[in-house]
Amino acid sequence: MAKDNGKIAIVSGANRGLGLETCRELATLGYRVVLSARSLESAQAAVAELERGDSLRIEPATLDVSSEASIASFAEHARAELPRVDVLVNNAGISMQGFDERVVRGTLGTNFFGALRLTEALRPRLSDTANIVMVSSGMGELSSVTRELRTRFSNPALTLPELVGLANAFIEDVAAGRHSARGWPSSAYRVSKICLNALTRIWARDLPAGMRINAICPGWVRTDLGGPGATRSLAQGVKGIVWAATLTAGGPSGGFFRDGKPIAW
């Protein structure tokens, strides 16, 4: 068994791909890891896969970040079972086919609002030196929106209510068929990651000084989401996530990184 380092990590959307490999890496480093998935059966199967041949401290949990009720139930579980949370990896994410109001609501509901609500629900359990990792994407760069929107998203004084307003405005503009005229791309995934990156900067400004939060682009990774033609292995994609999850005092906060190196917003 890996030597227990006394720290606890939660990973969302962790029954496969980047989330699963992140759990493996953190457990190997001695973390007690909560592997969460939308169904308990999926989480249990993933834990069994990781424990095959290894003795790691990984436990399954049910968490659907698109459901406020599921987040509330998971937060209550964390309150009862975990003394604190040292690492939160917001990994759960989807990329839906097509582009319409349903796709936009579903994509932002998981990729942005899911990470927002989960982090808020777990805030009381986060340790004073916690690392929060937002698994983002280079597709969330601001270059895909108009100058006016770039200015609003990159405003150093942007507030959380204003950011939520921007996300909801995108949904409403798509529903009304005016999103292009308002400067939005025809990609729910891109906008969800732009919002996630902006959220990272807001919280880096507002969180207690000892905590760190960073957005991580794993690159184009060979997962179910990335597809078999992707250029990076799981090990390459997870490297930056684990780096951000294991930062210590003096480490960066509020940045956008790939492989531990800053990249453009």
> Pick the catalytic residue: 31, 74, 189, 265?
189
Q: CA of 172: how far to CAs of 105, 165, 186, in Å?
A: 10, 10, 13
Tens of pLDDT, residue by residue over 132-183, are 999 999 888 899 999 999 999 999 999 999 999 999 999 999 999 999 999 9
The single-letter DSSP state of residue 83 is S
Instruction: Find the mean pLDDT for residues 65-78.
Output: 98
Model confidence at 53, pLDDT cuts 50, 70, 90, reads: low
Task: Please report how many Cα atoms fall inside a 13 Å half-sphere around the Cα of residue 260, on the Cβ side.
Answer: 9
Run of H or E including 202: helix 188-206
Query: What pLDDT does residue 220 have?
Result: 61
pTM of the model: 0.94
Report whether pLDDT(3) > 90: no
pLDDT band at 222 (very low <50, low <70, confident <90, very high): low
Which pLDDT score, from 0 to 100, does residue 229 have? 74
Classify residue 232 by burial, with Cβ atoms within 10 Å: 0-12, 13-18, 19+: middle
Are the CB atoms for 31 and 87 separated by under 8 Å?
yes
212 DSSP β-pair partners: 131
Taking Cα atoms as reference points, which of 92, 95, 96, 98 lies closest to residue 115?
A: 92
Our CA angle for 52, 88, 232, nearest 5°, is: 60
Q: Tell me the per-residue pLDDT of 35-51, one tens digit each, with 9 for 90 and over.
A: 999 999 999 999 998 98
Q: Is 31 a catalytic residue?
A: no
Residue 125 token pair: 């359990």
Q: What's the whole-number average pLDDT of the chain? A: 94
Task: Decide if pLDDT at 76 tops 90.
Answer: yes
Bigger pLDDT: 62 vs 231: 62
> Does residue 199 carry a pLDDT above 90?
yes
C-alpha span between 2 and 24 (Å, rounded): 11
Measured between alpha carbons, how far is 145 from 182 in angstroms, rounded to an integer? 9
Does the structure show a pLDDT above 90 at 233?
A: no
CA quadruple 57, 61, 64, 68: dihedral sign: negative
DSSP helix/strand/coil, 36: strand
Q: What is the pLDDT of residue 140?
A: 86
Per-residue pLDDT, averaged over 101-128, amounts to: 98
pLDDT at 26 over 80: yes
Cβ contact 132:203 at 8 Å: yes
